[in-house]
Structure 1
Amino acid sequence: MTPSPNSGGVTVEVRTARYRVELREFQRWHRLCGVPHARRAARNLLQAHDDKVLSTGLSRDYTRSARAEVSAAGGVSTVLAARTMALVALAEGRAVGGLAAGPSIHLVSQLAVLGQAAVVQAALRTIKVHALAVLPAYRGRGIGRALLNEALTIAENSSARITYGQFPTYAAGVAAFYRRCGMNLCAPGLPVDLRSWADLPAVVAPLPSETLFHRAVRQ
């Protein structure tokens, strides 16, 4: 849990989502930042929460469990859910922002042909920001940065090596936001080679209309 700076007389608390009502709000957060299939994304988070799996693998000692679980039937999905976080920003008695982050299904699918070890490495070493959004009335108060900082802290504490994500290049002010948060930005449409960042034989490639941001996680 991280308190966000006060602004305009409003105190904001950033913490892991605990309740179903908070997780249902992730449909809104995904939709606000233009993520397709927002309803499905929120439903997946809710299901992982109901299954008591969500965020259970965000620790340094999860490696052995991940190797065992990924070998079981449906184990890959369990590992991905365990390494996924859902954070909420709360102010004035309601959620005003949210962040969802964790391994990328697309990346794991790329590496699956290389076997179990590659899948485990991808799940343990990478954290992708799937959605980060704040209600318009609460923007400009440091809430988005507080959410991202909390995600980076969790990534560090769980031994991830890189945090990354992408956004529509045309989105006003988003590039400046990620730069202020200390992220490296690629030129629009250019990929990130994970061999140098996470020792993974894979490249993360955005759409031509998207810009990737990334940052090494301190170890």
Structure 2
Amino acid sequence: MMAKLKARKPKRPERPAPPIRAHELVRGVRLAPGWRLRLAGVGELDRAAELLALAHLRLDADVAATIRAGAHAEVLLAGLRDGKQALLYPIAEAAAAGDPNLAIVKMAALLVAVDRDDQIGGIVMTVPPGTVFAELYSKGFLPSHALLGLTLATKIQGLAVDPAARGSGLGARMLAQAWRLHHQLGAMVVYGQFPIRSGLAAYYAATPFEVLPERYGIMLEPILGRQAGIAPSAGEQIFARWSQSAFRAIDHV
């Protein structure tokens, strides 16, 4: 049974933003005066790994390999160019090949915040939640349907800001653009995790995301129509944002 919580005070609504175009994601979406957010290039992987290490995070090896192969965020770019339905083709191809990872790694994005000199000041990495795919597949979903479920949820795998840029609001702006990107492509919930009692709860609560109580996870049944969920990892706490309040469902795990 879903736990009942005190109603949360809604945050100030944001102005509707225009759709992100594929070329903007490659060249840079405006973050703030002097800052753009764009896909990371091959030559920026070391710098990305360095920044993530400052936040005690690692650059996903499969994502890095996909970037080196020239297929970075290929599925997402197709969706921005041709609409959300374009996400279905690579998913169908991966399912037919019997290798879901072919689509999953191309749905990941390593986004860097760069200044006027193209120097990286922050990074946000988004990935499809593989645990959701595994759960759906274990419950009898066809691989293609389980992969399709991944388009409805996105995980913030990592967020890091260069020490020189901290306190400027750059991290919150990166999160807002990550939400904008994936919501445009059909995600109904975008979420991430941080260590409990790390002091980060106040940070994420000040962004457009909501910090869930400790040991609470996200119920995906309102979104998928089938019982499934996202539980926090051991010692971690979830922050999340939903496309509609009707989809907000959390439970103690």
TM class by shorter chain equals: 0.7 to 0.9
- Is contact 1:102-1:126 (8 Å) kept? no
Matched, 1:102 2:124: no
2:160 is matched with which residue?
Answer: 133
Question: Equivalences for 1:133-172 in 2 at 5 Å?
Answer: 133-172=160-199
Residue 24 of structure 1: how far off its partner (Å): 3.2
CA distance in 2, matches of 1:185, 1:179: 6
CA distance in 2, matches of 1:64, 1:5: 33
- Is contact 1:4-1:142 (8 Å) kept? no
CA distance in 2, matches of 1:147, 1:25: 17
Larger radius of gyration: 2
2:43 is matched with which residue?
Answer: 21
- Is contact 1:126-1:163 (8 Å) kept? yes
Residue 210 of structure 1: how far off its partner (Å): 1.2
Residue 49 of structure 1: how far off its partner (Å): 1.6
User: CA distance change for structure 1 residues 22 and 217 in 2, over 3 Å: closer, same or farther?
Assistant: farther
Residue 197 of structure 1: how far off its partner (Å): 4.3
CA distance in 1, matches of 2:225, 2:210: 18
Residue 127 of structure 1: how far off its partner (Å): 0.6
Question: Which of residues 84, 103, 112 is equivalent to 1:79?
Answer: 103
**Gap runs ≥5 in structure 2:** 1-27, 245-253
Residue 74 of structure 1: how far off its partner (Å): 5.3
Residue 201 of structure 1: how far off its partner (Å): 2.8
CA distance in 1, matches of 2:234, 2:99: 33
**Alignment root-mean-square deviation, CA:** 2.1
Q: What are the Cα deviations for residues 65-114 of structure 1, in whole angstroms up to 9, with x where unaligned?
A: 14422323353112112211111011354211100102022221222222
User: CA distance change for structure 1 residues 86 and 217 in 2, over 3 Å: closer, same or farther?
Assistant: farther
CA distance in 2, matches of 1:200, 1:50: 37
Identical-pair percentage: 22
User: Which amino acid counterpart does residue 146 of structure 1 have in structure 2?
Assistant: R
1:206 is matched with which residue?
Answer: 232
User: CA distance change for structure 1 residues 121 and 89 in 2, over 3 Å: closer, same or farther?
Assistant: same
Q: TM (normalized to structure 2)?
A: 0.74
**Gap runs ≥5 in structure 1:** none
Q: Which moved more, 1:117-126 or 1:183-192?
A: 117-126
User: Which amino acid counterpart does residue 202 of structure 1 have in structure 2?
Assistant: A
Matched, 1:51 2:69: yes
